[in-house]
Amino acid sequence: MAGESDASNIATLLCARCEKPAHLQCPKCMDLKLPREAASFCTQECFKAAWSSHKSVHVKSLAVPGDENSDLISQGWLYCVKKGQARTAKLPHFDWTGPLKQYPISTKRFVPAEIEKPDWAIDGTPKIEPNSDLQHVFEIKTPEQIQRMRETCRIAREVLDAAARVIRPGVTTDEIDRVVHEATIARGGYPSPLNYYFFPKSCCTSVNEVICHGIPDARKLEDGDIVNVDVTVCYKGCHGDLNETYFVGNVDEASLQLVKCTYECLEKAIAIVKPGVRFREIGEIVNRHATMSGLSVVRSYCGHGIGDLFHCAPNIPHYARNKAVGVMKAGQTFTIEPMINAGSWRDRTWPDGWAAVTADGKRSAQFEHTLLVTETGVEVLTARLPSSPPVFPWMLK
Partner 1 sequence: MADDEEPPMAVQIQSDFSFGKNLSVEESSDTVSVGVTVITGYLGAGKSTLVNYILNGKHGKKIAVILNEFGEEIGVERAMINEGEGGALVEEWVELANGCICCTVKHSLVQALEQLVQRKDRLDHILLETTGLANPAPLASILWLDDQLESEVKLDCIVTVVDAKNLRFQLNERRDSSSFPEAFNQIAFADTIIMNKVDLISQEESDELEKEIHSINSLASVIRSVRCQVDLSNILDCQAYDSTHVSRLESLLEANKSLTTTDLHDTGVRTLCISEPHPINLDKVRLWLEEILWDKKLDMDVYRCKAVLSIQNSDQMHILQAVKEIYEIVPARKWSEEESRTNKIVFIGHKLDEEALKTGLRDCRP
Say how far apart CA 116 and CA 71 lie, in whole Å. 36
Chain mean position to CA 369: 14
Between 28 and 109, CB nearer to partner 1: 28
Whether residue 114 is annotated as binding a ligand: the answer is no
Contacts of 48 (CB under 8 A, 6+ apart): none
CA quadruple 130, 136, 142, 146: dihedral, nearest 10: 60
Q: Residue 289 annotated as binding? A: no
User: Binding of partner 1 at residue 302 (CB under 8 A)?
Assistant: yes
DSSP secondary structure code for residue 135 in this structure:
G
Question: Which 52-71 residues touch partner 1, going by CB under 8 A?
Answer: 54-55, 58
From the CB of 75, what's the least distance to partner 1, in Å? 29
- Tally of CB atoms within 10 A around 205: 28
Rg (CA), the chain: 23
According to CB under 8 A, which one of 300, 374, 391, 392 is a site residue for partner 1? 300
Q: Is 241 annotated as a binding residue?
A: yes
Question: Residue 17, interface with partner 1 (CB under 8 A)?
Answer: no
Among positions 79, 196, 246, 367, the unique one binding partner 1 when judged by CB under 8 A? 196
Nearer to partner 1, 44 or 376 (CB): 44
Q: HSE of 297 in the Cβ direction (CA atoms, 13 Å)? A: 26
Residue 40 within binding range of partner 1, rule CB under 8 A:
yes
Least CB distance from residue 167 to partner 1, whole Å?
23
Q: Does 79 bind partner 1 (CB under 8 A)?
A: no
Q: Do residues 127 and 119 make contact, with C-beta atoms less than 8 angstroms apart?
A: yes
By CB under 8 A, residue 133 contacts partner 1:
no
Q: Which residues contact 373 (CB under 8 A, 6 or more apart)?
A: 273, 274, 275, 328, 329, 330, 331, 332, 333
State yes or no: residue 367 binds partner 1 (CB under 8 A): no
Among 19, 44, 122, 143, which residue sits at the site for partner 1 (rule: CB under 8 A)? 44
- Contact between 363 and partner 1 per CB under 8 A: no
Burial string for 89-126 (b: 16+ CB within 10 Å, else e) reads eebbeeebbbebebbbbbeebebeeeeeebebbeebeb
Nearer to partner 1 (CB atom), residue 150 or residue 299:
299
Per-residue contact track with partner 1, 157 to 176, x per CB under 8 A?
--------------------
Is 16 a binding residue for partner 1 by CB under 8 A? The answer is: no
C-beta closer to partner 1: residue 221 or 314: 314
**DSSP 8-state secondary structure symbol assigned to residue 243:** E
Q: 300-324 as b/e, with b when 16 or more CB fall inside 10 Å? A: ebbbbbbbbbbbbbbbbbbbbebeb
Span near partner 1 by CB under 8 A; candidates 45-53, 72-80, 139-147, 183-191: 45-53
Residues that bind partner 1 (CB under 8 A): 1-2, 4-6, 8-10, 12-13, 22-28, 30, 33, 35-36, 40-41, 44, 47-48, 51, 54-55, 58, 83, 95, 97, 125, 130, 135, 196-197, 199, 212, 278, 296, 299-304, 310-311, 315, 317, 319-323, 325-327, 337, 343-346, 348, 359-360
Binding-site residues for Zn(2+), in ranges, read 230, 241, 304, 337, 368
